[in-house]
Amino acid sequence: MSIDIDEIIKALAHPVRRDMLHWLKDPEKYFVEQEHPFEIGVCAGKFDQRTGLSQSTVSAHLATLQRAGLVTSQRVGQWNFFKRNEDTIQAFLRQIGDEL
Residues in touch with its own copies (CB under 8 A): 6, 9-10, 12-13, 15, 18, 21-22, 89, 93, 96-97, 99-100
The sign of the CA dihedral 59, 24, 35, 31 is: negative
Q: Considering beta carbons, is residue 16 or 96 the nearer one to DNA? A: 16
Q: Exposed, middle or buried: residue 97 (CB in 10 Å: 0-12, 13-18, 19+)?
A: exposed
Question: Which one of its own copies, DNA, none interacts with residue 54, CB within 5 to 8 A by kind?
Answer: DNA
Cβ neighbours, 10 Å, residue 65:
25
Round to whole Å and give the CA distance between 36 and 83: 13
With contacts defined by CB under 7 A, name the span among 22-30, 77-85, 88-96 that binds DNA. Answer: 77-85
Tell me the closest approach of the beta carbon of residue 61 to DNA, in angstroms. Answer: 6
With contacts defined by CB under 7 A, name the span among 23-31, 40-48, 90-98 that binds DNA. Answer: 40-48
